[in-house]
């Protein structure tokens, strides 16, 4: 969920434009906890040209078993994911700005302007770089 929130926040900060933004929790039956949230966003001034998405984010966390019916959670199998299948996310190459804590696609125009002492290359998954505290560039939206 955080990458989408950061994308919208960066866009608003960088452009001073407006975004229609809605987050809707989705429940199964009488469960006390939502199985996830639906996030919708659309940039206003350009009718969705810069920001336009409708995504579902599951309410899950690696290594945590959640009982959605009761709201209880406990430490579980750290290698398990929400659907109990083994998946490997594809590795990507990003350019990091260690000063601003933003990450960029390698061909991003903003990445080309990063000072050498703040510029670092990264090869790995998007999830890994977000977990390290970096947020996506609002221009290239990696």
Q: Where exactly are the structural domains of the chain?
A: 1-85, 88-142
Whole-angstrom CA distances from 130 to 11, 39, 91 are 17, 18, 13
How sure is the predictor about 84, in pLDDT bands with cuts at 50, 70 and 90? Answer: very low
Q: What CA–CA distance (Å, rounded) separates 19 from 12?
A: 7
Which of 103-124 are b and which e, b meaning 16 or more Cβ less than 10 Å from the residue's Cβ?
bbbeebebbeebeeeebeebee
Full-model pTM: 0.53
Under a CB-based contact definition with an 8 Å cutoff, are residues 33 and 43 in contact?
A: no
Q: Please report, rounded to a whole number, the percentage of residues in the chain having pLDDT higher than 70.
A: 89
Q: Would you call 79 helix, strand, or coil by DSSP?
A: coil
Which of 4-32 are b and which e, b meaning 16 or more Cβ less than 10 Å from the residue's Cβ?
bebbbebbbeebeeebebeeeeeeeeeee
In the chain, DSSP finds a helix count (H) and a strand count (E) of 2, 9
pLDDT digits (tens, 9 = 90+) for 92-132: 889 999 999 999 998 888 888 899 898 998 888 888 888 88
* Residues composing the chain: 142
Domain 1-85 in CATH 3.30.70.580:
no
Residue 42: count of CB within 10 angstroms of its CB: 18
Residue 102: count of CB within 10 angstroms of its CB: 24
Tell me the mean pLDDT in the region 61-82: 77
């Amino acid at each position: 969920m955080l990458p989408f929130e950061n994308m919208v926040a960066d866009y608003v900060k960088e452009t001073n434009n407006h975004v229609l933004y809605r987050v809707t929790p989705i429940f199964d039956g009488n469960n006390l906890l939502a199985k996830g949230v639906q996030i919708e966003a659309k940039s206003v001034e350009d009718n969705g040209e810069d920001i336009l998405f409708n995504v579902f984010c599951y309410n899950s966390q690696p290594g945590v078993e959640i009982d959605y019916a009761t709201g209880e959670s406990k430490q579980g199998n750290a290698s398990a994911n929400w659907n109990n299948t083994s998946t490997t996310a594809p590795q990507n190459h990003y350019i990091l700005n260690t000063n601003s804590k933003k990450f960029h696609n390698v061909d991003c125009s903003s990445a080309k302007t990063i000072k050498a002492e703040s510029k670092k290359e990264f090869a790995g998954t998007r999830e890994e770089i977000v977990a390290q505290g970096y947020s996506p560039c609002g221009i290239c939206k990696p």
